[in-house]
Structure 1
Amino acid sequence: MGETIPIAVPRKGRPLESVLDRLARRLDAPELADDVTSTLRHEKARTKGNLEEPAEDVYHRLAEYSDVDDPTEPEYTLVRDTRAGHPRRIVFDSVTIPLEDVAGVPDDTRIRLVGREEPFRALRTHEFALGFDSADLILEEVVELRPEPIDRIADMNARIDPADTDVRVVTGLGDTVYHTLMATPEVAPANESIDRDFLEGYEGPLCIEPRYERLVRAVLGTRTLDDVEFSYPEDGREEEAAIADAGLGVYLTVTGSTAREHGLLLGEQLFPSETVLLESAPEVTESVAAVRSLLNGADLETELAVDG
């Protein structure tokens, strides 16, 4: 029997879909990605009440989706959703993928994707050598805050204290959205860009999501925020609406259409938010390194290029 390399992955959402798409491209196996993605999107729609379907016990659906006798078929599990009433939601649990005739990977090697609520933290405790998670979580938890801003993954790795964690970022997967600076016309400078330079001379509120406070401090640099006071959206209030009330803020954007609907002007894209491949250096064996190379590669169109 060959070696099975466990890889921590998100249980649901865009990050998990990006991981599955990556594997589909590298292994020429789109069926798994399509199967898991369609199942989870369907279940998300059910949880949100967007589907008119006969009521069916969630445990029956879970049993229909999961094949516990064949590890190469996806298995799912249940978590409590954060929506009102905390409904049970079906999410990804695990699947084993044989790596047959893959160049550079030892014969009979397998990878096992294992769902985790926070894969980054599972790597920090040395449960896994490899994993995928949002770049945001690394900024929120372990990078050092300095006067200078941070805008590249290479800078992120350089700011991680080795005494704090052995986990490092290998690369991004290209599923990019942006933490973007945005302002109302009344607050935006008349003939200048809405960017870090503008913020250095700005005094007043900056509306952000509370969980992004440390991330914003890292991305903008503490010097830029000397005269800035953070404000936060009230519970249940749309972020762009809260930013419009404050006059200036930072939030994730894809097209920026919702921001414009609230009369906001889009400024500098401060940091690209992507799903990233992570490694825990002490756990990297020769086989793990081979799998890491399989998941990495020059074909990735990512904003988060790592130097070296």
Structure 2
Amino acid sequence: MTATVRVAVPRKGRPLEAVLERFAECADAAALADEITSTLRYEKSVTKGDAHPERDVYERLADYSDLSDPSEPEYTLLRDDRDGMPRRVVFDSVTLDVGGVAVHLVGREEPFRALRTHEFGLGFDSADLVLEEVVKLRAEGLGSIADINARIDPMDTDVRVVSGLGDTVYHTLMAKPEILPPGSDLDRSFVEGYEGPLCISPRYERLVEAVLGTSQLDGVTFAYPDDAAEEEAAIADVGLGVYLTMTGSTARDHGLVLGEHLFPSETVLMENVAESDAAAERVKAAVADEDVETEIPV
């Protein structure tokens, strides 16, 4: 095989599972992907108090990790942010063969930032982080993953989005029905004519500004949920808001109308173009193959 290509990946959760599913397809690694996913889901249930293993976390960690063989997964411990800050087993490392290239998947808490600092040439992270950190704000909004690269200042970062992985949930407009005029649609044009509070999670302020566009937010003030409140409940109190939805059932339980899907919250393959080489290009082509997902023009 050629020289090893290191790829930054999330340590846990839906984004890591999406990455593993993609490598299961392009590296014939379905069994390995299932092993890592099932291990981390079980450890999540332990952290939440839903499972109660007899062995302590260090014994389980030693059992899960095989340090003698890079093709077997390794795990590590992190402090979870739940009450009591329990130790949580998360993904650390594994090496795969992708079309004759050794690909070393390396777990990182912030893969996007690891690419920005040139630690890696390729990596996966949420598209949300790109919007929150480097996408330029403009009067007009954006609505798709494919729009992102045109909003990245090349003087700010060498990182570009290559393709999405399809693990999509949406930042969605939602509102109490009484604030909508009869016959009107809950979409971007409604927000453009709206004046008043818009409830969002504080971390998504810049994302919402990028997605809606600054001109549509004239007359709008951001409101934020209390720490103890569900986002959907807080939006119901305010009247209008933006939050992530998959089925929308929780929003409907709070009497909210679901409106336009504003932007997909999706795991994306990214590259630092300053760190790219021939081996990394081969991996990128395999992971973003047209039969799997459409590559985004740069």
TM range (shorter): over 0.9
Q: Deviations over 1:31-74 (max 9, x none)?
A: 111000000000000000012443x3211111110111111100
Q: Deviations over 1:179-198 (max 9, x none)?
A: 00000111123211101100
Q: Deviations over 1:83-115 (max 9, x none)?
A: 11111100000001123xx3xxxx4x2000000
Give the equivalent residue in structure 1 for 2:35: 35
Counterpart residue type for residue 85 of structure 1: G
Give the equivalent residue in structure 1 for 2:80: 81
Give the equivalent residue in structure 2 for 1:294: 286
Question: Equivalents in 2 of 1:227, 1:142: separation in Å?
Answer: 25
Aligned length: 298
Counterpart residue type for residue 94 of structure 1: S
Counterpart residue type for residue 194 of structure 1: L
Question: Equivalents in 1 of 2:292, 2:179: separation in Å?
Answer: 38
Runs of 5+ consecutive residues of structure 1 not aligned to the other structure: none
Further displaced range: 119-128 or 189-198 = 189-198
Give the equivalent residue in structure 1 for 2:217: 225
Question: Equivalents in 1 of 2:162, 2:93: separation in Å?
Answer: 22
Is the contact between residue 124 and residue 166 of structure 1 (CA under 8 Å) also seen in structure 2? yes
Is the contact between residue 180 and residue 267 of structure 1 (CA under 8 Å) also seen in structure 2? yes
1:123 Cα shift?
A: 0.3
Is the contact between residue 27 and residue 97 of structure 2 (CA under 8 Å) also seen in structure 1? no
1:301 Cα shift?
A: 5.0
Q: Deviations over 1:227-253 (max 9, x none)?
A: 111011101211100100010000000
Question: Equivalents in 2 of 1:32, 1:83: separation in Å?
Answer: 29
Question: Equivalents in 1 of 2:168, 2:216: separation in Å?
Answer: 25
Question: Secondary structure of the equivalent of 1:266?
Answer: strand
Question: Equivalents in 1 of 2:132, 2:181: separation in Å?
Answer: 29
Question: Equivalents in 2 of 1:254, 1:190: separation in Å?
Answer: 26
1:306 Cα shift?
A: 1.9
The 5-angstrom pairing of residues 251-266 of structure 1 reads 251-266=243-258
Name the TM-score, length of structure 1 as normaliser.
0.94
Question: Equivalents in 1 of 2:5, 2:209: separation in Å?
Answer: 36
Give the equivalent residue in structure 2 for 1:49: 49
Counterpart residue type for residue 81 of structure 2: T
Counterpart residue type for residue 20 of structure 1: L
Is the contact between residue 162 and residue 297 of structure 2 (CA under 8 Å) also seen in structure 1? no
1:298 Cα shift?
A: 1.4
**Is 1:184 the equivalent of 2:176?**
yes
Counterpart residue type for residue 50 of structure 2: N
Is the contact between residue 174 and residue 300 of structure 1 (CA under 8 Å) also seen in structure 2? no
The 5-angstrom pairing of residues 207-218 of structure 1 reads 207-218=199-210
Question: Equivalents in 2 of 1:74, 1:112: separation in Å?
Answer: 11
**Is 1:200 the equivalent of 2:163?**
no
Name the TM-score, length of structure 2 as normaliser.
0.97
Give the equivalent residue in structure 2 for 1:273: 265
Question: Secondary structure of the equivalent of 1:233?
Answer: coil
Give the equivalent residue in structure 2 for 1:120: 112
Counterpart residue type for residue 253 of structure 1: T
Counterpart residue type for residue 281 of structure 1: V
Runs of 5+ consecutive residues of structure 2 not aligned to the other structure: none
**Is 1:70 the equivalent of 2:69?**
yes
Counterpart residue type for residue 174 of structure 1: G
Is the contact between residue 2 and residue 279 of structure 2 (CA under 8 Å) also seen in structure 1? no
Counterpart residue type for residue 60 of structure 2: R
Question: Equivalents in 2 of 1:52, 1:40: separation in Å?
Answer: 15
Is the contact between residue 174 and residue 186 of structure 2 (CA under 8 Å) also seen in structure 1? yes
Structure 1 residue ranges (4+ consecutive) displaced by more than 4 angstroms after TM superposition: none
Question: Secondary structure of the equivalent of 2:179?
Answer: coil
Question: Equivalents in 2 of 1:270, 1:98: separation in Å?
Answer: 37
**Is 1:306 the equivalent of 2:287?**
no
Q: Deviations over 1:130-165 (max 9, x none)?
A: 000000000000000111001123321011111100
Counterpart residue type for residue 253 of structure 2: E
Match of 2:167 among 167, 175, 192: 175
